A and B are shown apart, each in its own frame.
Chain A
């Protein structure tokens, strides 16, 4: 991982990959002050570092994607996950998602969309554009825990892939394909467990279809 490296994980020389989880840094975007307070708490209680911003524009500024920030400011940010509301004035969550996925520096950062409206076409549109998941508001602790597990698992698999290609340690069939395909395979794995979570709002069959585009 070079440009766009989003998470440094200490991989001990012994090859043990059960990393004591470094904190995820989450950028939460929502125009509602109430929702920002709630999502911040949900994430903090799930042991994440949180930065909240009130708009898509602010989010882009924070990431340095608004064209105003010096490139050298970018490397301190290390955002591991972006969680954004869909309906916001100005830049919608969908617009923000697109801008992030268009950016070579940030396209690897998983983006989760939140919405109070359960509109299938909206969900499909977001997943197709590369959203990691779609949460129906009001967001609950179980939703955040699930997302965190998903992200941590993706990151661990990515590191495992790099570790295998670097060390060739394990005898099992290693998947040395690119990180993006390993993350989509873990999304596949996850969608079967999605049905276990009553609070999951991911449309299983549709998301499986679109996961293959990721």
Chain B
């Protein structure tokens, strides 16, 4: 009979694997996990939290720049996209990073409609990842509260 801990651990393992397989996360996220230990038990959560704040700030900048109808500074948008691409790459946010690549191309070709579309997609994508990671961290907490250890998941 499955204990609660075993059930939670299985859920955690399956969920983690699905996030990688569906392309939400890549191996840089795995690299971040390596940096977490008893001394820094919340490292990953702290970094992703900074990342999501960064997303909000940069997306706000991009939206403002795109809002200057007839006078859009595509360099400014592009520069924010570049920063977002960098930070998404650093945390392993694979889909967000991929969208930034497309977004940058739209900026470089001054494609306004393309930029607006990309902005919407990037906004949706980071929020979706944020929700998923919150679920993942919540599972971790439940495992620990039930007295179990968070399993190492090999992708």
Kindly supply a per-residue 1/0 record for chain A positions 44-84, scoring 1 wherever the CB is within 8 Å of any chain B CB and 0 otherwise.
01000000000000000000000000000000000000000
CB distance from A117 to the nearest CB of B (A): 9
Q: Please determine whether A41 and B35 come into contact, CB atoms closer than 8 angstroms.
A: yes
Residues of B contacting A: mostly: helix
Docked CA distance A141–B85 (Å): 20
The answer, among A31, A38, A87, A137, for a CB contact under 8 Å with B47, is: A38
CB distance from B103 to the nearest CB of A (A): 15
Write the chain A residue with the least CB distance to B30: A140
Q: Please determine whether B43 and A116 come into contact, CB atoms closer than 8 angstroms.
A: no
User: Which residues of chain B have C-beta atoms less than 8 A from A31's C-beta?
Assistant: 83
Q: Please determine whether A34 and B34 come into contact, CB atoms closer than 8 angstroms.
A: no
Q: Please determine whether A42 and B35 come into contact, CB atoms closer than 8 angstroms.
A: yes
Task: Kindly identify, within residues 75 to 99 of chain B, every residue whose CB is under 8 Å from any CB belonging to chain A.
Answer: 82-83, 85-87, 89-92
Q: Please determine whether B31 and A140 come into contact, CB atoms closer than 8 angstroms.
A: yes
A34-B90 contact, Cβ under 8 Å, with A41-B40, A116-B85:
yes
Write the chain A residue with the least CB distance to B37: A45
B74 at the interface (CB under 8 A from A): no
Q: Please determine whether A137 and B86 come into contact, CB atoms closer than 8 angstroms.
A: yes
A157 at the interface (CB under 8 A from B): no
A122 at the interface (CB under 8 A from B): no
CB distance from B77 to the nearest CB of A (A): 15
Docked CA distance A87–B78 (Å): 13
A35 at the interface (CB under 8 A from B): yes
Q: Please determine whether A34 and B31 come into contact, CB atoms closer than 8 angstroms.
A: no
The answer, among B31, B50, B91, B92, for a CB contact under 8 Å with A141, is: B31
Q: Which 5 A-B pairs have the closest CB atoms?
A: A34-B87, A138-B28, A138-B90, A41-B35, A138-B89
Extra inter-chain contacts (5) besides given A116-B86, A141-B34, CB under 8 Å: A33-B50, A34-B47, A34-B51, A35-B90, A45-B40
Task: Pick 26 A–B contacts, CB within 8 A, sort by A.
Answer: A32-B83, A32-B86, A32-B90, A33-B50, A34-B50, A34-B54, A34-B87, A34-B91, A35-B90, A37-B46, A38-B91, A41-B35, A41-B47, A45-B40, A87-B82, A116-B89, A137-B86, A137-B89, A137-B90, A138-B28, A138-B89, A138-B90, A140-B28, A140-B31, A141-B31, A141-B35
